[in-house]
Amino acid sequence: MACASAFAAEGRAPGDGPGRAIIGAMRRNPSTVVVLAGQASEGLIAAVGRSMNVSLVRPEDPGPGPGDGIEAAAGALRRAAGISSPYVLVAADPLAAVAAEWRAMWEVSAQPRGGEAFELRAAEALAAWRAGRFELPDYYLVLDPAGLRQQEGRNAGPAGAAGPAAPAAPAAPEGQRPDFYLGPLRSVRPHRVAAVAAAEPAQQAAGLLRALGSLRHGRWWPPLDEVIDVARRFYPGALAESGSALAAGEPAPRG
C-alpha cells in the first residue's frame, strides 16, 4: 500500500502560511512510512524484522546538542522515504521531545508544571519542519503496553504563549496517563494514529502487524503548527473506550 506524503494534499508547503497555495506534483513514497511511538523492546524489533512486508529503519545515535534528536529522527524518515517495501517502520520521531514535554505538563505531581518546556520543544520541532528537514509520516503506531493509558480529551480553550499550566486535578487511575499521540495528535487525524495495546513482545508484534494491515486512507496531516496548537488546547479527560477498539484503529471520541 503506497500512500501520498505531500504538503500539496493540504495545498501548502512547509512554512507556508494559511491560504498560501502551491502548485505542483504530489510526491509519493514508494512505501507506507509508519513511525513507531513508544518503548520498543529488542524482542519486538526482532519479531517485526522477520516480516517480509516490513522494513525497519533505526535512527543514528543523536548528538548531545539541542535539536540533535530531531535531526536523527528526521534523517531516519528521509531514509525511509526512499525504501521500496510495503511498510517502512521508523523507530524514531521528530516530535518525541514535544510528546514527552506535553505528557510531563499534564501529569499530576507535587509541583505543578507550566508549558515552558513544551513550548521550547515545540519551537525546535516547528523550526526543523519549516526548514524542510522532515514531514510527518503516513501514520503513527503507538505501543500502549498499559492498555489505553490515554484519556479522551476536550478542547481546553485558548492558551497563553507559554501553554496551559498543569491543573491541580485528581490523579488518574494507574495505567491511564496523558499521551500526546493518543490524545491531541490522534484528535487531529484519527485514522492516522493507531495503537497496539499489548505488553509481551510476541503479542505486540502480532498486534502491530494486524494494525498495519488495517490502516485507513484519509486526509493528510494539517500543517504542524496547527497540530501544536491543538496540543496546547487539548485537555485530557476520562477514558471512554476499550483497548480493543483503539487497537483496531476506531476513532476516539472527541470532547
Q: Is 155 helix (H, G, I), strand (E, B) or coil?
A: strand
Q: Say how many domains are in the chain.
A: 1
The answer to the question of residue 86 being in a domain is yes
In angstroms, the CA 176 to CA 108 distance is: 12
pLDDT at 18: 43
pLDDT at 19: 41
Name the residue range of residue 185's domain.
7-22+32-247
- Of the candidates 172, 155, 159, 181, the one whose C-alpha atom is nearest the C-alpha of residue 106 is 172
Strands (E), the chain: 32-37, 54-57, 87-90, 139-143, 153-155, 193-196, 234-236
The answer to the question of residue 148 being in a domain is yes
The answer to the question of residue 254 being in a domain is no
The answer to the question of residue 255 being in a domain is no
User: Is residue 215 within 8 Å of 133, Cβ to Cβ?
Assistant: no
The answer to the question of residue 1 being in a domain is no
Q: Which residues of the chain have pLDDT under 70?
A: 1-29, 63-66, 108-113, 145-176, 237-255
The answer to the question of residue 2 being in a domain is no
Query: Whole-model pTM?
Result: 0.73
pLDDT at 43: 81
User: Is residue 178 within 8 Å of 228, Cβ to Cβ?
Assistant: no
Q: Please state the separation of Cα 40 from the chain's center in Å.
A: 15
pLDDT at 11: 38
In angstroms, the CA 231 to CA 225 distance is: 10
In angstroms, the CA 77 to CA 91 distance is: 9
What residue type is 142 in one-letter code?
A: V
In angstroms, the CA 229 to CA 185 distance is: 10
Please give the C-alpha separations between residue 176 and each of 49, 108, 151, 171, in angstroms, as whole numbers. 30, 12, 7, 9
pLDDT at 239: 37
The answer to the question of residue 200 being in a domain is yes
The answer to the question of residue 48 being in a domain is yes
